[in-house]
Every structure is written in structure tokens, then in C-alpha cells.
Chain A
Amino acid sequence: MAALWRIRALVIKEFLAVLRDPRSRFVVLVPPLIQFLVFGYAATFEVSGVRLAVLDHSRSDASRRLIARVAASESFRLIRTIDSADLIPALVDRGEARVVLVIDESYARDLEAGLSARVQVLADGRNSNVAAIAIGYLSEIVAREAAALRPEARRVELVERAWFNENLSSRWYVVGALPATIVMVVVMLLSALTIAREREFGSFDQLLVTPMSSTEILIGKAIPGIVFGMAIAAALLIGGIYWFGVPFRGQVGTVFLTLFLFSLAIVGIGLFVSSLARTMQQGLLGAFVVIMPTVILSGFTTPIGNMPGWLQRGTLANPLRWAVADLRAILLEGAGLREIAGSIPPLLAIAAVTLSAAAWMFRRRSS
């Protein structure tokens, strides 16, 4: 009972310290907001407005119809029509055009003669991703044009239908998992700074001579980080749903259960780093050393399935991996408790390990 009272005192103090210190307030509010907007608007895999140049040797109705079809697509922006192949290298080198569409002189003639006509695409391969996607879009447009020209031709048609994300919006994919990533950054920074701050301000000894045990101190230090993390996650979910139009098909309870277990694991890492650090700067540095690989190995931006096998197995110990997968499942699929149950034991296990490590390091460094 007395222990609970002391923990409560520490929690109140921690909240006051974070909210009254302009620097801590900044850590809690500004980076999440910036990350939310940056990821929401900028982190998209869709390719649109690719700069396109056209070299039309055919100069026919048929070629103009094809060019009009391409230019009308949102994926391309026609920036120039050129009349000599000599201009192409300079155009691509300077990056003025990413893609050049070259239409053969015989294009219209061949079509009329019932032969297959040839269209060439030159793409700037320096950005392989954009080049590949742009070529894919272009061949699709060309195929549609061919189909329009010869509707009677027999062919196999692929009817696409993407489940859960009908428009294949990569924003849903990114923003849906964003709360987990941002919560990690906030919780990690808050907890990584909390003990280091006491050391730097010299208040650590003052805290250690109180009747508080090291377990009480760690609990008191962990709670504010988790609470701030949950509050920010809630704000980000609401922002994602109402601002970016991400669907919410699951239940609030499952989202917060996942995020809570995830925060526990992160708080453990943060407190471990903080116990180790002598100064706030060291704490901050330590937090970033952990944050970078954790994000990259989480499947947040690049699919885990593309990683080498040994690395894929390594991601099983990454708490963010589980949280990202759960959030996407809950938001986009409407997964319930039963569907995410598989990630609860690993999250619990990771939290148990990180929290024990933090307690061990804290005891080691405080006596």
C-alpha cells in the first residue's frame, strides 16, 4: 500500500516534469505530428505524374490517339514532344523526362495492314522502382489501346480485385501502421531520457535515498511513458481515420491491447538505455541506435518476406513487427482478438525480457 502511494507520487512527478519542461513537451508533441504528416503525405509507393516525353515518328491519327490516352492518365505528365532521337539522351540525363515513348514511323501503317505495331519505351533506370512501375503502367495503357483497336480479338483478360484495400492505396498501408511506429519513438525517447535526466540534473541520488525501491522507481518511470504513448496512438488513429480516410474495421479494445503490450516492451528497452546512459545525450543517442533498425526490420515500409531467411527469423524478436502486423490486420481486415492472438505471447515474452533487463541494468548502475 505504501509502495503504491510512492509510485503514485513518482508518476505525478513524472507527468509534471514532462509537461512543464518545454523540451520534453516538444518530444511528446512535435515529432509525432511531423512524422504523421510526412508519412501520411509523402510516404507513398504509387507513381504519379511521371515526366514523359514523346517522339512521334508516325504523326498519324492512330499515334495521336495513343499519346492522348497516355497523357490523360494521372500517372504521366507529358512535358515535351520531340522530333529527333538525338534529343533523348540529354533529356533523360538531365532528368527532365523519366520516360520517353517512341512511336515507330510505320505504326499507323502496320495497324491498318493488320500487323502488330511497335512502340518503344525508354525509362530512366536510375530510380528502378519508378521505372519499373512506369513501364508497367505504360504497357497496360498500350494493351488497352490494342484492345480498343481490335475488340474482336480473342484474349485472356485478367480481372483484378484487391481485397481489404480496394484501391491499393499505399497510404492505408502506411498510415494504418503509423501509430505503432510513432508510439515507439515517443515511448522510447521519454523512457530513455527519464533516468538519464535525473542523473544529469543530479536529482538521481535524491531519489535513491527515498524509501522507494528500485522496482517502484522503474514502475513509476514506466507508467508515464506508456500513458503518453497510448494517448498519442489514440490521436494518431483518429487523425488517420478522419484526415487520411484510413478504414477502421476492427475493435478499439484490440488495438489498445496490442499497443499496450507493445509499449511495455518498448519501455523496457528505453529504461535499459536510460539506466546505462550517464547523460541525456547518451540516452538520446542510444534510443536512436535502437529505433532505426527496429523500424527497418518491422515490415513497416519494406515487406519482411523480401528479407533473407535468417533476418526474417530475427524480426521475430522485434516488437514493432508484431505491432505493425496487428494494426494493419485490425484496421484493414477487421481482425478481432482471435486473429491477433498469435502475436500476444511473443509481445509478452519480449516485454518480459526487456523489462527484466532494464531492472537488472538499473540495479547494477545505481549502486
Chain B
Amino acid sequence: MERDPGQEGETIAAEPRAEILLEATALSRSFAGRSAPALDGVDFRARAGRITGIVGPDGAGKTTLLRVAAGLLKPHAGSIRVLGAAPGAAARAGTARIGYMPQRFGLYEDLGVAENLDLFADLQGLPFHERAERFAELLELTDLGDFRARRAGRLSGGMKQKLGLACSLLVRPRLLLLDEPTVGVDPVSRRDLWRILDRLVAAEGIGVVIATAYLDEADRCAEVLVLDRGRVVACAEPATLRHRVAGRVRLVEPRPGCPPRVLQARLEELPEVRDCSIRKGRLRCLLDQETAAVDRLIEGLPEVASSAVVEPTFEDAFMAMQESRPDRAGAATPIAGLASAADEAMIAVEGLGKRFGDFVAVSAISFTVRRGEIFGLLGPNGAGKTTTFRMLCGLLPASDGEIRVAGRDLRRAPGRARAGLGYMAQAFSLYPHLTIVQNLRFFGRSYGLGGRRLRRRIEEVLDEFDLRARRDEDAGKIPAGFQRRLSMAAAVLHEPEILFLDEPTSGADPLARREFWARISAFAARGMTIVVTTHFMEEVESCDQVLLMSRGRELARGSPDEIRALARGPKRPDPGIEDAFIALSEGEVVVGAAAPEARP
């Protein structure tokens, strides 16, 4: 994501006297039934004319803080002043100049775009004579002018968010509170949303407070509040935080022919490496400290071609703030298994299509996945990736084309074909009233495991997924991180040949996502074939093959390298997957002769 130099911390630091719109002092709030407070003595300020970001892992207190600021929750201790008054007071007095957009903005899906604006104008008491002008302004700002009559329910995820934003902007707020507005939004819309925010701040001088799960977005903020378990870990300009890890970040180039994933596993074995992720085919390593010895160690690895010191990003700074390294269970498994990634086709799809009535959800999709490959289905909401995914695991009959999974036709021999599959749904979908062990027992047995083998496998996954501590607790009551690990444990309990994962990292914090991908890589290394859907573009770097989808069709297919190569040009010498996606979906680049179809 390109960075506007005007957004850099140094510029803002020159005028730190901007009016304070929101000030929280020693703010605390807890919830019944949870022992740890959601907010624990938080001090926080947001000023006019700048964007203040809130980042932190799941359950850090981001949403609670925003809800307290919006006057929806009362703090249990400490004080908070918003626009010089207690939050909620202005709303009751009818003079609210605060816009609040929750994670799921309550648009009326059966009403049109203009009708939604009208309704929210009624709710917020916007005078009639101001409406026409304000609506026109907002529709222009959000680029929704052409869709006035379209029902909100039929808008794309990104357009819905823009409409929600327009509705929160109706009363010309001086302070805008946004709760993860870009989650599940495609990269193009995400970029648009940020442009809108930048324009608002520059033109109207309003203050924006935005909670986000995307760390690259935090880099665009003037100031960032890092929360963890309700406490403030840091509150500073991103540049200041980045500066703390200066000199500790390496970009390691793998030797030609060596898959980045293999090198990643090798680098993660080094205790000095705090974090290691794949970026544009290279490995980005955060070191515990800068020493020549570590550099020699890295450069001495047989898989390494070169290594260079690079400027840290906010994500590096964020990872350095975490107390512990992400769990890399399974990463130590020998990666020799990868060599057995023979040409055996585990999934073969030919001309796949799906229609719902007149609506063509998926059309003309073809690909082959080989044993031990990680296959990524990538695309924004509504691109058809979930429909494709559901057809692959046999949950949805295909309208056209053929699917062969593990050499079998899912339609003809469903039971036997499914025995070799593992499936992990997007949301937590096990039995909430059963304990961890009872859930595992059920899924084990339904895949035909029993007796000693079942007991052994349960013990193994309890350790492998770090679930032992809560083995007898109800699955519905364990934290989200445990639930995600339990879902995966249940999916691999019967040692499937193919593992299907639907948005496994949706809503997960950066640490959990890393942990997840470490496991997935380890499974692939053992010869498991993996199909995964995601809307996190950077995650695709860990895949062997990627299918980029948009509006039910294939946009591009190939290895991450090949996808990036499609977008490489004088304007973008070193594009990322996200750049490639934007270029492809805007028609700037057309898949031509160099396309993956030309591969042998």
C-alpha cells in the first residue's frame, strides 16, 4: 500500500497543539462473567485533524473503547470526555457531532441507498433543507452516486461499508469513531475507504479514531494506540514505534528453486528470529537484537541467496511489542516430505460453474491441485470463492463441470470420498455444549476412528494444538483462539488427505494468523493437500498455487510469484499480491500469453 508522505508522523508532530476531541483517563470497564477487564486503566487522546488508530490482538479492548467513547457503554472507573462533554450527553441533547460506525453497521438491507440515507437522516434529526445537498456531497465522496436506487442488501461488502460511512457522516461529525471498517472488504474498496478518510481529515479537519486488524493501515495513522488485554502497550506515532526496531529487520532472498515456505521453517528454528513471514516471495525476519553473528548465521544457511537490512514497517514494530513468539507447533517437522509432492492430482476441477436461478455465482473455473500443495482461493466477498469452496467439499452441487477429489467423484461416492477430507468452517461450528474432548470424540468416531487409535489421536491433537489445559471445558465457553485451534484439531483428527479451510484466519489477530499458517505449512510438508480461502492478500504468499477470483470468474491463477509478475511494470517495479489484484480487477493488466495457463 502506497504511503502518502503527508501522513508521516514527523509532519503531524510539528503541530501537536491540535484540539483534543477525545480524552480518556485511567479508563476501565469489565464485563460480567469475564475475569479479566476489557479495559484496564487506559489513557488515550485523539485530536482534531488527524487519524488515530487502535490496534491489538483479539480481545484487546478495541471495540469496548470505541463503544465507551460513543456513549454506548458506561466506564466502570476513570473518566472520558468527548468533545468536551461526557459521552452520550450530546447525543441525548440532540447536538451530537460524533459519528460512530460499529463493526456491523445496521443498514436496512431491503431499502435502497438513498432510502437508507434518508432514514438515517431522520434518525439523526438532519434538517430537511440540508439533506439534498448533504446527500449529494456524501454520494460523491463515497462514489455511490450511480447506485442510489440499489437495495443495500445487493451492494458489495465494500460498498456497504462506504454507505455505512456516509450514514455516519450525515451530521458532519467532528469526531468519527470507526470499528474495523475494512474487515472483509476487498483491497480496492479498502483503498477507497482510506482515501475518503484522508480527504475528510484534510478538508474538514475532523478527528478520526479507527480500530483495525490490518497493521499496514496503522502505518497510515498519525498516531497509534496499541492495546493488549485492556492495557495500553504503546501510544505513539507509527514512525516512533518503527524506529524502535530499526536495524532489526532483514529481508532474506531464498536461493532460486527453494520455496519460501521451506526457508521460513528453517529461519523460524533460529531462536534469535522473533518473527518471520513471507513477503513477495522473500522472507521478512524480525531479529531479537541486531548482531553480526545472527546475520552470518542467516547468510550461512544453504537455502539463503542473500540477506539485506530493510526499513521496519509498523507490523515489525507490532510484532516486537508482543511478549512471546507466536507458537510454531509442528513447524519443526522434517520438511523432507515436501520432496514427495509428486504430480499426483488430488483435486481436479474442469469447467466448474454454479447458478442460483438467473444469478451466475461461479463460472468456468478449472484447476488442478497436487498432493502436498497449498491451494489458495482468493477474492473479495461475493467473488464466488465460498461457493467454489462449498462445491469442492461436496456441500453444494455444481451446475456445470466436473470435480474429482482424491480421484473420486463426490457426487457418486460421497461417503467414501468424504472420509479422506477434513473441513474447517469459517465461523466456529462445533458443538458449544460439548467439551473439547467430547467434540473430538464425536468427530473422530464419525470418521470411523475408534478404540485405541481414537484415544491416541485425541491425545496427540490435544498436545499439538495446545488444548490440554481446557480439555474438559465446554467448547462454547473457551476463548476464540482456542475455538479456532479446536476446529482445526477436529478437522485433522482423522488425518485427512485433503484439508479444506474456509477463511480460517478471518477475525484472527496477526499473532494467531502466523501461528495458523505455521501449522498449515507443516501439514502440507507432511503431504497433506490444503485448500484455503482467504481475503488477506498477504497470506497468499504461503500458498503454492493461487486462484484469484472476481465476480465468479478466474482473474488469474498461478504461484504467488507468477501472479506478482503479471502486475510488474514500470509503474510497479516490485508489486505485491494486493497490487496485482487491484491491477487485474481494474482491467489495468490483462492476463495474456504469460498467464499461468501456459504452464506445463
**Measuring CB to CB, which residues of chain A are less than 8 angstroms from any residue of chain B?**
2, 5-6, 8-10, 12-13, 16-17, 20-21, 201-203, 205-213, 367
What are 7 A-B pairs with beta-carbon distances under 8 A?
A2-B448, A17-B431, A20-B433, A202-B427, A209-B393, A209-B423, A211-B419
**Ordered nearest first, which 9 A-B pairs have the shortest CB separation?**
A9-B445, A202-B429, A21-B433, A209-B423, A210-B446, A20-B433, A13-B442, A211-B419, A211-B415
User: Which residues in B have some Cβ–Cβ distance to A below 8 Å?
Assistant: 390, 393-397, 414-416, 418-419, 421, 423, 425, 427-434, 438, 441-443, 445-448, 450, 474, 490, 500
Mostly, the A contact residues are helix
A201 touches B431 (CB 8 A): yes
Closest Cβ of chain B to A266, distance in Å, is 24
Known: A9-B446, A211-B446. A17 touches B425 (CB 8 A): no
Known: A17-B431, A367-B397. 19 other contacts (CB 8 A): A5-B445, A5-B450, A9-B441, A9-B446, A16-B434, A16-B438, A201-B432, A205-B390, A205-B395, A205-B425, A206-B429, A206-B430, A206-B490, A208-B395, A210-B443, A211-B415, A211-B447, A211-B448, A213-B414
Specify which chain A residues have a CB less than 8 angstroms from the CB of B441 in the assembled complex.
9, 12
A21 vs B390: C-alpha distance when bound (angstroms): 30
With the chains together, A20 CA to B443 CA distance in Å? 18
**Complex: A209 Cα to B531 Cα, angstroms:** 15
A209 contacts B428, CB within 8 Å? no
Q: How far is it, in angstroms, between the C-alpha of A16 and the C-alpha of B421 when the chains are bound?
A: 25
Chain A residues positioned under 8 Å from B429 (CB to CB): 201-203, 205-206
Chain B residues with CB under 8 Å of A202's CB are 425, 427-429
Which residue on B lies nearest to A214, using beta carbons? B414
CA distance A212 to B446 in the complex (A): 7
Residues in B with CB closer than 8 Å to A20 are 433-434, 474
Chain A residue contacts of B490, Cβ below 8 A:
206
Among the listed A10, A201, A209, which residue makes an inter-chain contact with B395, where contact means beta carbons less than 8 Å apart? A209
Taking CB as reference atom, which chain A residue is nearest B502?
A205
For residue B508, give the distance in angstroms from its CB to the closest CB of chain A. Answer: 17
State which of B394, B428, B442, B474 has its C-beta within 8 Å of the C-beta of A12: B442
Query: A6 contacts B446, CB within 8 Å?
Result: yes
Q: Contact between A17 and B446 (Cβ–Cβ < 8 Å)?
A: no
Question: Which listed residue, A13, A17, A203, A211, touches B418 by the CB 8 Å rule?
Answer: A211
Assess the B395–A17 pair: CB atoms within 8 A. Answer: no
Which chain B residues border A12 with CB–CB below 8 Å? 441-442, 445
User: Judging by beta carbons under 8 Å apart, are B448 and A6 in contact?
Assistant: yes
- Cα A17 to Cα B438 in complex, Å, equals 10
Complex Cα spacing A10 to B423, Å: 18
Chain B residue, CB-CB nearest to A204: B429
Smallest Cβ-Cβ distance to A25: which chain B residue = B433
> Nearest-CB distance from A219 to chain B (Å)?
13
A8 CA to B416 CA, complexed, in Å: 18
Q: How far is the CB of A259 from chain B (nearest CB, A)?
A: 28
A165 to B301, CA, bound (A): 95
B434 contact set on A, CB distance < 8 A: 13, 16-17, 20
> With A and B bound together, what is the CA distance between A207 and B434 in angstroms?
15
**Smallest beta-carbon distance B52→chain A, Å:** 35
Taking CB atoms, residues of chain A closer than 8 Å to B500 are 209
